[in-house]
Amino acid sequence: MRPMPQPPAFASLTADAYRQLEHAASLKGLLKPFKGKGELEHLAQVARVIEAQLQQLMAAVSQQAGRPPFSLLDIRLVQQNTSAGSTFLRWRSRDFSRMGVAVWERQMSCTNLPQDLREALYRIECDRIALNLQMSVTHSLYRQATACAAKMANAEQALRQFVNPVEESR
């Protein structure tokens, strides 16, 4: 491994990075009685907006991890789109033959890795873990809100089937 240049400080995500998400992501909007499918559709829409904002934060972290000195390592942080429609940050080997936290652990165990670079990789990993958790929860909320909105629409349709014939016979 070649000698590493002095790494710039990795800028971990701060409260400022999350400021926009704070207002949209209040649990007050979730823990209330929903009066119909419209409110659930709105909740799903809010979850989609938060997902897009989380993707922007993920892109910022992966861009930082893609610059020197990190780009000189045998590890890459990439955004991976899933078949479920969400995005996660994943560690990959430089040749893309291996993926997962084991790739990161292997890089961390290199004895010639400078301590400040090791600490920066640790901060990147902490941001990756937190962002993946937040994306997973937000995407699950989106899916559940969408499914529940459809169920409420079906319930409303069933009600109308049984209410309208009675009203028409009067």
SS (H, E, C) the chain: CCCCCCCCCCCCCCHHHHHHHHHHCCHHHCCCCCCCHHHHHHHHHHHHHHHHHHHHHHHHHHHHHCCCCHHHCCEEEEEEECCCCCEEEEEEECCCCCECHHHHHHHHCCCCCCHHHHHHHHHHHHHHHHHHHHHHHHHHHHHHHHHHHHHHHHHHHHHHHHHHHHHHCC
Residue 116 in any domain: the answer is yes
Residue 30 in any domain: the answer is no
Residue 5 in any domain: the answer is no
Residue 128 in any domain: the answer is yes
Residue 20 in any domain: the answer is no
List beta partners, residue 133.
Answer: none
Q: 63 is in which domain, residue-wise?
A: 35-168
Residue 60 in any domain: the answer is yes
| Residue among 32, 125, 146, 36 nearest 138 (CA) | 146
- With tokens 């000195």, the residue in question is 69
pLDDT band at 164 (very low <50, low <70, confident <90, very high): low
pLDDT for residue 48: 93
Residue 168 has pLDDT above 60, yes or no: no
Q: pLDDT tens digit string along 3-33? A: 555 545 677 777 777 666 655 556 666 777 7
pLDDT for residue 13: 74
Residue 156 in any domain: the answer is yes
pLDDT for residue 4: 57
pLDDT for residue 26: 61
Domain count of the fold of the chain:
1
Residue 139 has pLDDT above 90, yes or no: yes
pLDDT band at 154 (very low <50, low <70, confident <90, very high): very high
Residue 90 has pLDDT above 70, yes or no: yes
Q: What are phi and psi of 62, to 5 degrees?
A: -70, -30
Which residue type sits at 56?
A: Q
Residue 61 in any domain: the answer is yes
